[in-house]
Amino acid sequence: MNYAIISDIHANSAALERVLEDAEQCGVERVVCAGDVVGYGPDPAGTIRILREREIPTVMGNHDVAVADYFGGGTMNKWAQAGVAQHRAELDDDDKDWLRSLPYVYLGDGFEVAHASFYEPMSMRYVRDKLDARDSLFNGRKRRQFIGHTHLEALFRVEYGPDTPYPISEQLEPHDFTMDDKWMYLVNVGSVGYPRVKPYSSYVIYDSATGEVQFRRVEFDFAGYKAALRAKSMPISPWIERWQAGTGKNMDMQS
Pick the CATH number of 2-243 from 3.40.50.300, 3.60.21.10, 3.40.50.720, 1.25.40.10: 3.60.21.10
pLDDT, one tens digit per residue, over 160-195 is 776 766 778 999 999 999 999 989 999 999 999 999
Mean pLDDT of 52-76: 90
Q: Report yes or no on whether pTM surpasses 0.85.
A: yes
Give the DSSP per-residue string, 166-221: EEEEEEE----EE--TTEEEEEEE--SS--SSSSEEEEEEEETTT-EEEEEEEE--
Dihedral sign from CA coordinates of 148, 93, 19, 1:
positive
Q: What's the pLDDT band for 245 if we cut at 50, 70, 90?
A: low
Name which residue leads in pLDDT, 104 or 255: 104
pLDDT at position 235 is: 85
Q: How far is it, in rounded angstroms, from Cα 6 to Cα 16?
A: 9
Q: What's the pLDDT band for 251 if we cut at 50, 70, 90?
A: very low
**C-beta of residue 15 within 8 angstroms of C-beta of residue 222:** no
Q: What's the pLDDT band for 147 if we cut at 50, 70, 90?
A: very high
Alpha helices in the chain (DSSP H): 13-25, 44-53, 62-69, 78-90, 93-100, 130-139, 222-231, 238-243
pLDDT, one tens digit per residue, over 94-134 is 999 999 999 999 999 999 999 999 999 999 999 999 999 99
Range scoring the smallest mean pLDDT among 159-168, 172-181, 196-205, 225-234: 159-168
